[in-house]
Structure 1
Amino acid sequence: MPALSVAIITHNEEANLARTLRSLPEGCEVVVVDSGSTDGTLTVASQYGARVIEQPWLGFAVQKNLALSECTGDWVLSLDADEELSPALRDEIVSLVQGQPLPGKPEAYFVPRKNFFLGRWIRFGGFYPDAKLRLFRKGVASFEPRPVHEVIRFDGASGKLQGALLHHAYPTLSGYLEHMNRYSTLGAEILQQKGKTSASAFDFIAHVFLAPAATFVWNYVFRSGFRDGREGLLLHLYHASYTSWKYAKAWEKAR
């Protein structure tokens, strides 16, 4: 049984997957659950020795939980295909999973994530350290069943690692806008299920205009997002727009 398993879901991730797999510790088990890639994703996965499971798309949380269930290691690391371990994080994980279990030692760990937008590390405006719970003992955690912004559910005491997880999420502006469009549609479905469809004129103005404007000012001005240059301006402008799109789409669906 391996000390560490790495769980990744993919769909047309040929451009990213090799970078992710190259950053992993030697000897770890890699489980890739693919939802019908039509590029070279499966070839890349096989070249790096990953065990590939082909599964039609079930939703983010369900797909990721399937990947977790296929892991056999004592510890599981959940990654996205556009993420990469820094050398410091890789060494830290190796040291942790190969160590002896101690009473009271955390069974799950948060890692700080560096988000890159148009090739620039976004350091300000609330985008760093962007801690994510990603490493945990097999069986103690899973993803909450939600259609978007899936998070890992863990009820015990957790720890924090120091090495950074590198997130190459948005190398192009068109890709980012496409991503936000898709996620705002999923977010609108959640709002509609909860009955939050901005039915009144006040709610509509508040959600579609005032809240996004306030979010932009808070993150770009008061949280120093302006220090990330033009990339920071674009990211905070369009990130704030996500809320507007989400509520506008929920209102449109409910009309």
Structure 2
Amino acid sequence: MTPKLSVAIITLNEEVNLARTLASVQFADEIIVVDSGSTDRTLEIAASFKAKLYLEPWQGFAAQKNFAIERCSGTWVLSLDADEALTTELQTEIHLLLSGQPTADAYLLRRRNFFLGRWMRHGGYYPDPHLRLFRRHAANFAPPARFTDRPVHETIAIGGTTETLNSDLIHHAYPTLESYIESLNRYSTLGAQIVIEKGHTSSSALALCYNVLLLPTLTFIRNYLLRLGFLDGREGLLLHLYHSTYTSWQYAKAWQTVRKSTTTR
């Protein structure tokens, strides 16, 4: 028999994206949606696709996704963001994979990232592999797969072998500049926490200049020029310009947080 596949998705006000995501995983045996307080039509859309719906106050990305995984009953779990969708080719590939004898315990999915409606093919944004399909238990007596506990850019911790599938996952990331700038602000705040935890918060003027000016400039040169991001047109220019801004903001916010803590002592 084909092993059971569960899909795990976390949501918050995702009415624009969710129907597209759920429509692409209808071949799965079970769909788990964990919502953290949506006030739009997210819950209605989830119910219309017969998803199993759970309400859980926001605990952070990793904790929220782990809550969703814990409610899956399948042998395999496909963890998706609400703004992602499987191509028909990827749907077929996963179905055939699980119908046979999978040779790995976890699989990376290649992502096509869209920015302002354009597929970002260069600058390090493709194929952008992410580990999303995995056995809940890679081996007997092994702990279940879980996302690592970090503020942002959480990843799956799992034992066993890993391979990469051939077909693509579509990431409808940022349809507008406003949505990207809002995300830029939110993620740079979370990224600042990681910078602080790693101790990369020297208060010297020289270190601050490197972190908020030189490092973002080098990031832009690497991705836009050396990794051919300029081939993605005006959208590529804006994406790499603002991505370098993210690098600057997270270090500036980390410096500001440490500065406030030292001045209040």
Length, aligned pairs only = 252
Identity over aligned pairs, percent: 58
For 1:8, the equivalent position in structure 2 comes to: 9
**Equivalent residue, structure 1, for 2:25:** 24
Q: Does structure 1 residue 53 correspond to structure 2 residue 54?
A: yes
SS at match of 2:122: coil
Residues 86-165 of structure 1: pairs in structure 2 closer than 5 A = 86-100=87-101, 105-140=103-138, 141-165=145-169
Matches for 1:101-250 after TM superposition, within 5 Å: 105-140=103-138, 141-250=145-254
Q: CA offsets, 1:88-145, max 9 Å, x none? A: 00000011112245xxx21100110000000000000000000011001123321001
Give CA-to-partner distance per residue, 1:3-55, whole Å, 9 cap, x none.
11000000000110000001114252000000000000000000000000000
Q: TM-score, normalised by structure 1?
A: 0.96
Give, in whole Å, the separation in 2 of the partners of 1:79 and 1:64.
9
- Name structure 2 gaps, 5 residues minimum: 139-144, 260-265
| Structure-2 change in CA distance of 1:19 and 1:144 (3 Å) | same
- Distance (whole Å) between structure 2 residues aligned to residue 61 and residue 139 of structure 1: 18
Aligned-partner Cα distance in 1 for 2:14–2:29: 20
TM-score calculated relative to the size of structure 2: 0.92
Contact 2:3 2:98 survives alignment (8 Å):
no
Question: Does the Cα contact within 8 Å between 2:6 and 2:28 map onto a contact in 1?
Answer: no
The answer to whether the Cα contact below 8 Å between 1:25 and 1:94 also exists between their aligned partners in 2 is: no
Note if contact 2:7-2:28 (Cα within 8 Å) is conserved in structure 1. no
Deviating 4+ runs (over 6 angstroms): none
Alignment CA distance shift 1:27-1:217 (3 Å): closer
Contact 1:2–1:72 (Cα < 8 Å) also in 2: no
> Which secondary structure does the structure 2 equivalent of 1:210 belong to?
helix
Counterpart Cα distance in 1 of 2:215 and 2:197: 21
Amino acid at match of 1:182: R
Question: Residues 85 and 165 of structure 1 are in contact (CA less than 8 Å); yes or no, is this contact kept in structure 2?
Answer: yes
**C-alpha root-mean-square deviation of aligned residues, in Å?**
1.3
Question: Does the 8 Å contact 2:18/2:83 carry over to 1?
Answer: yes
Contact 2:3 2:99 in 1 (8 A): no
